[in-house]
């Protein structure tokens, strides 16, 4: 747990931030990063226990943090978040997921469920929160996509299972497109909209069970820096995009992948 800026100092002092999927993995790291920069942080997600654990540890470290259980694929929960956080300054659309399976076998219900989480929810939360940011003249929206929002997964890197996740790949492509669209629509208002695309992070909760030793070896070998990433590697990208000094940066896809997508 970060001890930076204990007591509320830092470049984001006085700012209120929401991190979806903030109880575990990358979302938890993002919550720690924002709290360390002085923001008051709200973590939301479906599972109350990890949310409360994250908020408690941040609070114990001297930061302002709280947990809000919410299913962002449900309209009522999205509206509740907007009602309870009317002065939100920073929205981090981190929650996401996908399902493995042959593309021919994906049902309409499975397809829509992935899109509801990965693409529909970030759009709806942006609809609910961004207008008030525009009115106040300052705001930061950071969406979390993936290198597979630019590429399509190569089965070579996943020798122990059939890597096929059509809804995930397609929805993450869409999220990058949504980011660019909203950046144009909010240009000149003091609100910026950007996206972070993580590369290979096999040690996150979502990926750990899918990453064999051979898979990790192949991924590391084909990454120019020679290794896969840790969630801490994403912190600097987030800190840059939410900083008061980054107001001239909008509509960008910040790829954090050790150069993996270069070849």
> Residue ranges of the domains in the chain?
16-262
CA distance 169 to 187: 28
Least Cα distance to 225 among 263, 258, 188, 181 occurs for 258
Per the residue annotation, which of 148, 158, 168, 181 is the catalytic one?
168
pLDDT tens for the chain, residues 1 to 263: 444 443 345 699 999 999 999 999 999 999 999 999 999 999 999 999 999 999 999 999 999 999 999 999 999 999 999 999 999 999 999 999 998 888 889 999 999 999 999 999 999 999 999 999 999 999 999 999 999 999 987 778 777 666 678 999 999 999 999 999 999 999 999 999 999 999 887 565 655 556 678 877 888 888 898 888 888 889 999 999 999 999 999 999 999 999 989 88
Q: Which residues contact 156 (CB under 8 A, 6 or more apart)?
A: 218
Per the annotation, the verdict on 168 as an active-site residue is yes
Q: What is the pLDDT of residue 7?
A: 37
Pairing of strands 139-144, 65-69: unpaired
Yes or no: say if 25 and 32 are a contact pair by the CB < 8 Å rule.
no
Answer positive or negative: Cα dihedral of 248, 250, 256, 260.
Answer: negative
Q: What is the pLDDT of residue 230?
A: 83
Q: What is the pLDDT of residue 217?
A: 85
CA distance 228 to 239: 21
Answer positive or negative: Cα dihedral of 103, 106, 108, 112.
Answer: negative
Q: What is the pLDDT of residue 214?
A: 82
Yes or no: say if 74 and 98 are a contact pair by the CB < 8 Å rule.
no
Homologous superfamily of domain range 16-262: NAD(P)-binding Rossmann-like Domain (3.40.50.720)
Q: What is the pLDDT of residue 34?
A: 98
């Amino acid at each position: 747990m970060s001890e930076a800026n204990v007591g509320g100092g830092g470049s984001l002092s006085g700012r209120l931030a929401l991190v979806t999927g903030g109880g575990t993995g990358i979302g938890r790291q993002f919550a720690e990063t924002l709290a360390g920069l002085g923001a008051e942080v709200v973590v939301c997600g479906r599972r109350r226990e990890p949310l409360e654990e994250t908020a408690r540890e941040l609070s114990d470290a001297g930061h302002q943090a709280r947990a809000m259980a919410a299913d962002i694929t449900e309209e009522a929960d999205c509206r509740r978040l907007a009602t309870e956080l009317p002065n939100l300054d920073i929205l981090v659309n981190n929650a996401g997921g996908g399902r493995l399976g042959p593309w021919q076998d994906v049902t309409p219900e499975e397809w829509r469920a992935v899109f509801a989480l990965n693409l529909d929810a970030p759009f709806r939360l942006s609809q609910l929160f961004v207008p008030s940011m525009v009115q106040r003249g300052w705001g930061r929206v950071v969406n979390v996509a993936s290198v597979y929002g630019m590429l399509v997964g190569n089965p070579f890197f996943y020798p122990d299972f059939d890597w096929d996740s059509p809804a995930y790949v397609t929805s993450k492509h869409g999220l990058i497109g949504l980011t660019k669209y909203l950046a144009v629509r909010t240009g000149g208002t003091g609100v910026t909209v950007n996206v972070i695309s993580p590369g290979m992070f096999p040690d996150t909760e979502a990926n750990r069970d899918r990453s064999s030793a051979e898979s990790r070896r192949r991924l590391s070998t084909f990454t120019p820096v020679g290794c896969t990433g840790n969630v801490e590697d994403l912190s600097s990208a987030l800190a840059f995009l939410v900083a008061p000094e980054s107001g001239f940066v909008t509509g960008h896809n910040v790829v954090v992948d050790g150069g993996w997508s270069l070849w």
